Structure 1
Amino acid sequence: MGTLGELERTVMDAIWDAATPVSAYDVKDQLDADGRALAVTTLLTVLSRLEKKGFVASDRSARPHRYTAIASRADHVAELMHSVLGDAGDRTAVLERFVGGVSPEDAAVLRQLLSGAA
């Protein structure tokens, strides 16, 4: 996977929020409800790009085609975090700033995860 543009992220959010595979029409309905009216042709183009980037898989046996996320939102965010950390010249400084900026609750979760207790 890679990075997402703003419109791609909006479409992925709609897919991640869906309980079942979605069509471009389903995504359109969701975005219309959120005040972001887009043409179905635009959404089909975005979905095609997302499929080429490895974010979604399509079921072409169904009409209209249905799309599902290949990875979860959490997987995507974790990959972004690893990518940013991997690009850092001083990983320790980046980790210090990250840990210094998290809430006490998130710090507790990090401690549990790092200790293997979670």
Structure 2
Amino acid sequence: MANHRSGRSGVHGRVARRGPGELEGEVLALLWTAGEPRTATWAQEQLGGGLAYSTVVTIMSRLYEKGLLTRVRVGRSYAYLPLMDEAGIAARRMRQVLEQEPDRAAVLASFVSDLSDEDEQTLRHLLERITSAADRGDDEG
């Protein structure tokens, strides 16, 4: 795979700063496509743009500490692998927001009332499927 990002020129040819969380997202995207544990050296090469090795190690370590990556020893360093896909991460964020709110029912009611008709139908279908599976004693939904 060629460099994922080949530097980002900003004003006066300087490399533009990434927004908050952007580098984490880029690292996760790389690891999702890799499909196997990868090292910070590999990620640094794929990201390009003159990122310091220590920056990439820090990002991968933070993702590990957040529970988004697992890691295995490879020599003296680690290789990382995502624990969940994009949908899993989005669902985790949604649960974290919900857990911080004292009136969960009100938050869920507001969320559902703002859904498009299509999303509401999808949610109803998923809830029915999960309920049916639970009634049958299945573990899968």
- Normalising by the residue count of structure 2, what TM-score does the alignment of the two structures yield? 0.60
User: After alignment, is 92-101 or 103-112 more displaced?
Assistant: 92-101
Q: Is 1:14 matched up with 2:30?
A: yes
Higher relative contact order (CA 8 A, sep 6+): 1
Structure 2 residues without counterparts, runs of 5 or longer? 1-19, 133-140
Question: Aligned partners of 1:68, 1:29: CA distance in 2, in Å?
Answer: 17
Residue 115 of structure 1, CA deviation = 1.2
1:18 maps to amino acid: A
- Normalising by the residue count of structure 1, what TM-score does the alignment of the two structures yield? 0.69
For the aligned residues, what is the CA RMSD?
Answer: 2.7
1:41 alignment counterpart: 54
Residue 111 of structure 1, CA deviation = 0.7
Which of the pair has more CA radius of gyration? 2
User: After alignment, is 78-87 or 106-115 more displaced?
Assistant: 78-87
Q: Is 1:103 matched up with 2:116?
A: yes
How many aligned residue pairs are there? 111
- Secondary structure at 1:11's aligned position in 2? helix
1:58-102: CA deviation from partner (whole Å, max 9, x where unpaired): 222358742101233322222221221122232233222212222
Question: Aligned partners of 2:50, 2:106: CA distance in 1, in Å?
Answer: 42
Q: Is 1:27 matched up with 2:40?
A: no
Q: Which has the higher helix share?
A: 1
User: After alignment, is 50-59 or 108-117 more displaced?
Assistant: 50-59
Structure 1 residues without counterparts, runs of 5 or longer? none
1:56 alignment counterpart: 69
- Secondary structure at 1:58's aligned position in 2? strand
